Structure 1
């Protein structure tokens, strides 16, 4: 147990002083819930403010240094982090720690379990002084130390797995097994272990049983960048027979080893790992199995998500140990039989700005909280609500930024997420519980409406399903892939699920039933010059036709209000894609749309930079020769905030893209039911809009590729009267 000086012993919580109540969990174990009143209601004060105050001199902090030298673990942590935070900044002369407090997260409970609060952070509130006066509000800070329960390891992991498995989601009698699984080597009632090996499920006798022996877990993890992915252990045609005999655990990369160890610990006899259960150099097998991944994850007993590390070489069971840990004992003053300990530490991060932040207060003027002799204003308003362990671990980890893991997380009904801090349980799209006992019923990634789309179509209207697909595509496009050729394969399982709910053809990431909406996308980042745009189109590996959002290796978004108020202004005569292999949702070699619509040469090349937001920025107005607005335009060759070259004399932008080659293709109309500021002078319009594609000719008659978007008011110069004068034509988009 860590040594604490007399001043720091205040962090040893006296539950009797903080409305502590001894309660009993569903398992029969007693615990103390702090901050709950006698009637069971939660105290709205989410902080336990402790009586702590300390002054010291910068830059050496002699008081903290002496206490640390005498053995106080907390003084040592505080001293080191503040010195690290300030660096060589010598302007501050005095430090005042004016309060220490624990932050509580409430769980209101329900009819099946009592409510409980849990600790997840401790904050050290401090101020800095320079010269003769206290610094201004900018110099009020809070150092955050994370709280972790001492009950970790195998026992806790089993309890979390039991929490997940307590929700019955699948009928194991009708379980669809993957083509291949890895037998993790559990043998006999004593669970002796052998080396793992690959098995073909249709021919493997133990899998013909009708009990829990058919259960398998699936691993969701990051292969990593190419240089690390090359070190991935794989099954290939030449190694298939060897894998069927044995896969020595020592030969596996760390992520694979950990998955096997988790399965053994939980008593689950099989695990599915993509690199080993799919023959990687057999194109037909790879495409067939990639198409089945939806079923693989949907039928897995648990999905093991390696939410720490950036490649298969990284262990997700071995966590980074903080350099300094303060172990705090706890014995209930209400019932001494309830005891334990917890740990305080600074998150292992090289950047101190990640855990020291500006502090904000309410209930008084700025100078009030800088004066140590005045009562502290309340409540503290430091933005701590996002610091629960789940949100610290999952949303921004490498696993959450990889393309393949999106469909895995959506399709997995039950997941154990191994984060950098702790393990988290998610069921049916909800974060249920974390290793420290914290819990919530709020959605984890993916958003709950995407899970609803997978689980029960009846809960969603057609427009909601279509909106959810665009939301999913936007999220997916922001993620990275080791091989860009996996753009469609890594989405194929979830595309197959969505295709069962959306009418029409699946066309390169879009659906024919709502092309008038799906075509209205924009890559948020990417090309900065027309030269880059034209060279990329000529030399890049073919991924998708130009009209598909998947043709751009950047995050995409759609125009706002993409709902039924949009009306198509074209007829789809033919839509077709050619797949490269057996997976109808997989890689493509070509694709085209044949539309009957209206098209015209762009009526002007004169532009004026006037940014208008319509789901994304349309940065230019297209003008007549006398300066009247024709349309708002955005070019695929120019990144959202990139500027065209400027005239050296007038400083006006001179767009150097192939504007004079562009044509405008009418796609949709929309009734505008909200105020929208349009134009430099900020006039407000309620007019209906016409929206379409900007296209460039390919050199073949009637054939074009996408180059941007436009929209205009129906009553404007380029509105209904203009388009009504044109005849429908056949337009082929590639």
Structure 2
């Protein structure tokens, strides 16, 4: 009688009770679930376990220093879906988990136990093409193109694009001629085989207020302060219109030129060459048109794995799979490939599950590993370029990934298939595209109203709208969804890096422009003027916050989220109760529909519930410099009439224009009550005369504590009202109480 390996069933379907064509009614079949020491022991007597062990140990550097008793190994294959054909995944997937080992039963060796959670390392074992395998659980694998300029790779990228055009309604451009940017590179200036390129200035059609029609490719890359990047300047403009020497282009640019030609396009847009870098006014104007430049591009090619395009290529070198020799029961040799499965990097969440966007932990995936392999995705400018582009072809260290308005495609075929990878994909681009696309079918504003100053305008209007007016209700719903999406985008955007602080509002302006028809609101310095709730932003980590370094003449007001750098910014966009706080934007509060994307002006903030409070720092700094005290030992509170509330300033420790002294009087303006049973407000610092203030923080009160009383004796947030605002007796009549107004700069 033949002995069957208890650990892996010999990786033979017939020994697992299957005949190779039989289905077991599930998406996958588990072959192995054991510890690494058990696999080592089994490998001495089983050829299949020896193969698995060999492949695992070839990647030992990934878990070096980890106690092997903590390393769990699982192996599974996937059943072909109906109609999968050649797309069927026939590899053997091997997963290793060793992190958070204390949360698992380390002694569990039950083969039926499939450990939950995303693996720390995923490997795949496969054969080449139709190569024979001594183990029926290991079949042909997906081949990754080594050089994107090879004919097979170009054909694959075209196939990805064609599938997008044929099957995605929101991505199709049939019958919609596109307009070239003001300047593009002509990559066919010297013919198909020539390396010559030149800068082409588009012909402007004055009657139609547009440049000439044409389809083009755009490049998204990191260059920042990189040296050696060729630039178009006022001095080189005329010479670049004649010819740009190919030898002066960095490798990433050269590869962009060849790929553009290979895909059949003539025009290529690269920022450093198509924007005149030392024409400050023109560069600013063009920078505010990124929605047109990237939005009209047929394709954006992204140097996603290059942290510096002056020295790194567009197409990063790819690691080749290890080849292991394995013998069958007759002693014949076979080659099995082993490689790390494409991880899909920052496009996938760092956790399993299919949670809705509202339940995600933001920023979506800024893990150290993801950032290491996809440095482009942690930059702010490329983030907006990615959102605005109809489709982006990412070049990573493992494969090509096409991201479009309706989803993702990749060479390995797994990125958007939960069967192979249950982690959710980043859907912000798809949600953004959906909101923008719906604008074309949007009803016009009632009575031409394009902006509202009421803080809770959406909530208030929804409550007062006649139910028969379905179109208006739908308008408010979409507007509310767009505002929530905007808050997600800003959180992701502010988690990313900018070379220049002065670009903070410039780089996001085109996103705001694209959402403007949906939100139907003024927009000033990053703030939609119809919603005072947008002022309730806060840095996720105030200890990392700083105020931006701006050039002369720039003004980012303290009330804008763009006035804080260094930490992702979060928002409070929903309100259970409007506390009669209003904001008026623009000169003298008369420009609610103003559009000032990169300049800020004072806000007139008025509220019925505004009170002078005293700032306390415990323990107080040991010197006049707040930064001399270790932050984790410092707590901040606001007090009035013996009632104290915890408070986190926007910048911790408070310094510079945000400097606060213990015992200093501040103003707290209550804005709303939330569905979390908390009270949220803004904290203002007086700047002297003329009733002028600057924001120094936002506070959220869940509970308040009488001074001198232990924390355990805290009272609910509502107790704050009677202590800080004893004159207000009826909360439902706040609009009728006297209002105080503050000019916030």
Shared topology, TM-score over 0.5? yes
Q: Which has the higher contact order (CA 8 A, sep 6+)?
A: 1
CA–CA separation in structure 1 for the residues paired with 2:368 and 2:316? 17
Once the two structures are TM-superposed, the CA of residue 342 in structure 1 deviates from its matched residue by 7.7
Compute the displacement of 1:598 (Å): 4.7
Unmatched tracts of structure 2, length 5 or more: 100-104, 110-114, 126-140, 166-170, 206-210, 329-333, 344-349, 351-364, 418-423, 443-473, 620-633, 702-716
- Hey, what does 1:637 align to over in structure 2? 651
Q: Which residue does 2:94 correspond to in 1?
A: 122
Stretch of structure 1 that moved more, 630-639 or 215-224: 630-639
Q: Is the 8 A contact 2:614 2:664 kept in 1?
A: no
Distance in 1 (CA, whole Å) between partners of 2:320 and 2:159 is 32
Output one character per residue of 1:601-630: Cα deviation in whole Å (capped at 9) or x when no partner: 533445789xxxxxxxx975545575xx35
Question: Matched residues in 1 for 2:602 and 2:324: separation?
Answer: 64
TM-score, with length taken from structure 1 = 0.66
Distance 2:97 2:614 in 1: 61
1:109 CA drift (Å): 7.3
2:511 matches 1:500: no
Matches within 5 A, 1:558-577: 558=570, 560=572, 562-563=573-574, 565-567=576-578, 569-576=580-587
Deviations 1:645-686 (A, max 9, x none): xxxxxxxxxx9942533422425222x545x5xxxxxxxxxx
Query: Post-superposition shift, 1:216?
Result: 0.8
2:75 counterpart residue number:
101
The alpha carbon displacement at 1:243 in A equals 1.3
Residues 60-86 of structure 1 show CA distances to partners (whole Å, capped at 9, x for unaligned) of xx989xx9xxxx998766445437744
Separation in structure 2 between the aligned mates of residue 606 and residue 197 of structure 1, nearest angstrom: 63
Q: Could you tell me how far apart the structure 2 residues matched to 1:177 and 1:709 are?
A: 45
Separation of aligned partners in 2, 1:143 and 1:343? 16
**How far did 1:407 drift?**
1.4
State how far apart, in whole Å, the 1-side matches of 2:260 and 2:491 are.
34
Larger displacement relative to structure 2 (722-731 or 403-412) = 722-731
Structure 2 partner of 1:271: 268
User: Which position in structure 1 is the counterpart of 2:219?
Assistant: 219
Q: Measure, in 1, the Cα distance between the counterparts of 2:595 and 2:80.
A: 46
Residues 124-523 of structure 1 aligned to structure 2 (within 5 Å): 144-146=122-124, 149-152=142-145, 153=147, 154=150, 155-166=152-163, 167=165, 169-171=172-174, 174-185=177-188, 191-202=192-203, 214-224=214-224, 226=225, 228=226, 230-322=227-319, 325-326=322-323, 343-346=337-340, 397-431=374-408, 433-440=409-416, 443-444=425-426, 446-457=428-439, 461-514=478-531, 516-523=532-539
SS in 2 for 1:461: helix
- Counting matched residue pairs gives 584
In the alignment, does 2:694 pair up with 1:691? Answer: no
CA distance in 2, matches of 1:246, 1:622: 65
Deviation at 1:287, TM superposition (A): 1.4
C-alpha deviation, 1:543, in angstroms: 5.3
Could you tell me whether the CA contact under 8 Å between 1:521 and 1:556 is conserved in 2?
no
8 Å contact kept, 1:634–1:709: yes
State the Cα distance separating 1:15 from its structure 2 match: 8.1
Q: Say if 2:606 is the partner of 1:596.
A: yes
In structure 1, distance between residues paired with 2:559 and 2:550: 16
Deviation at 1:235, TM superposition (A): 0.8
Query: Higher strand fraction: Structure 1 or Structure 2?
Result: 1
**TM-aligned CA distance change 1:118 to 1:328, over 3 Å:** farther
Matched residue, 1:82: 60
Is contact 1:474-1:555 (8 Å) kept? no
User: RMSD across aligned C-alpha pairs, in angstroms?
Assistant: 5.2
- The answer (yes or no) to whether the contact 1:524–1:554 under 8 Å persists in 2 is no
SS in 1 for 2:586: strand
1:664 equivalent among 663, 667, 684? 667
List per-residue Cα deviations over 1:243-280 (Å, max 9, x = no partner): 11122333112322221121122112111111111111
| Aligned-partner Cα distance in 2 for 1:86–1:303 | 39
3-state SS in 2 of match to 1:455: helix
| Match in the other structure for 1:717 | 722
- Aligned residue in 1 for 2:712: none
The equivalent position to 1:702 in structure 2, one of 677, 691, 695, is 691
Counterpart selection for 2:28 from 39, 45, 51: 45
Contact 2:28 2:76 in 1 (8 A): no
Q: What is the distance in 2 between the residues matched to 1:660 and 1:96? A: 54
The CA deviation at 1:551 is 0.4
C-alpha displacement of 1:415: 1.7
Question: Matched residue of 1:660: which SS?
Answer: coil
For 2:384 and 2:240, the matched residues in 1 are separated by 27
Q: CA deviation at 1:453?
A: 2.0
Conserved? CA contact 2:667–2:685, under 8 Å? no
Residue number in structure 2 paired with 1:31: none
Distance 1:19 1:57 in 2: 25
CA distance in 2, matches of 1:311, 1:480: 14
Structure 1 residues 536 and 299, CA, compared in 2 at 3 Å: closer, same or farther?
Answer: closer
Question: What are the superposed Cα offsets for residues 145-165 of structure 1, whole Å, 9 maximum, x if unpaired?
Answer: 356733524313422333323
Kept in 1: contact 2:606–2:739 (CA 8 A): yes
Alpha-carbon shift at residue 695 of structure 1 (Å): 1.1
CA distance in 2, matches of 1:451, 1:17: 50
Corresponding residue for residue 382 of structure 1: none
CA deviations over 1:24-45 (Å, ceiling 9, x no partner): xxxxxxxxxx9x856xx96332
| Partner SS state of residue 596, structure 1 | strand
What is the distance in 1 between the residues matched to 2:552 and 2:530? Answer: 29
> Measured at CA, do residues 264 and 281 of structure 1 come closer, stay the same or move farther in structure 2, by a change above 3 Å?
same
Superposed CA deviations along residues 496-551 of structure 1, whole A, max 9, x for unmatched, are 1122222332111011100x2111111122447xxx97x98999995511110100
